[in-house]
Amino acid sequence: MLWQLMERLNDNPTAMFLLPLAIIGIGGAIPLALESRRRSSIDGALPEMMELISAELGAGLGLEQAFADVAKSRNDVAGSLLDQALVRAQATSFTAALAKFALESRSALVQRVVNLLDAALEQQAPLQEVTYRMSIEYEKLNSLMRLKEEKVFGQAFTMIVLMGLMLPCITGFIVGIFAPPSTGYPLASTLEALYLFSAAATGVTVAISGRMLGRTGQYLWSAPAWMLMSTLLFQGVYIMAGNMF
């Protein structure tokens, strides 16, 4: 079975070229996907953390103690990073610890929160009210971002399914019906061009989908795997259709 599969791959030079690239690309896409999930987890925890900090401030605690209590009460990534930053604050300053927390989180929302807190501290603004308003605003922002991502993800996934899966299947089926391998037509150059077309169309679609979602790097790394799947689908459907009719 494996030997037959390798023989089929020898008839598809595009797949042979894409196979090592797909393996490398998957290895590069996985860390980016994990990092994206990590940032999403931190961003999602931010409104609740701000609300808890506001409640701690309302109970009469200072800002540093409020952050410390919230960090110890959470078992997620955001709580762990904040706790580590506050431990470092013992050797530096609380402001420097918050800056370090924002830097290590690699989250634009966290960096914005830290900047707003620094400005509030400099202007001696009421921190309880500031943190409470921040919790409300960032909860709304996260909700809007989730709705947008769900909508855009549906559109992007539909594009990938149409161009990367359905188009190769339809094209391979049509070619397999009218020019099956059993006819002996010299279709090597034509099939190679169709393999390249399927791979190129899929690669462009994946890149556009990544740009729509704001994850261009992650999707570019995964593009060779989608391109390989597209060419293999075309080849498989072409052979099956040719043997059926």
pLDDT tens profile 153-204:
999 999 999 999 999 999 999 998 988 877 777 778 888 999 999 999 999 9
Alpha helical stretches, state H, the chain: 2-10, 13-58, 63-73, 77-89, 94-105, 108-122, 127-160, 167-178, 188-213, 216-244
Q: Indicate the residue among 92, 113, 145 that finishes a domain.
A: 145
Dihedral sign, CA of 27, 32, 35, 41?
A: negative
Please tell me whether residues 67 and 117 are part of one structural domain.
Answer: yes
Same-domain status, 32 and 45: no
- In tens, the pLDDT along 87-100 reads 876 777 778 888 88
Euclidean distance between CA atoms 17 and 9, whole angstroms: 10
Residues 47 and 140 in one domain: yes
How many domains does one find in the chain? 2
Greatest mean pLDDT among 112-116, 212-216, 225-229 = 225-229
Domain around 98: 41-145
User: Residues 31, 45: one domain?
Assistant: no
Q: Same domain, yes or no, for 110 and 168?
A: no
Nearest to 230 by CA among 199, 189, 190, 191: 199
Residue with tokens 């099939």: 191
- Say if residue 204 is in the same domain as residue 234: yes
Residues 123, 127: Cα–Cα separation, whole Å: 10
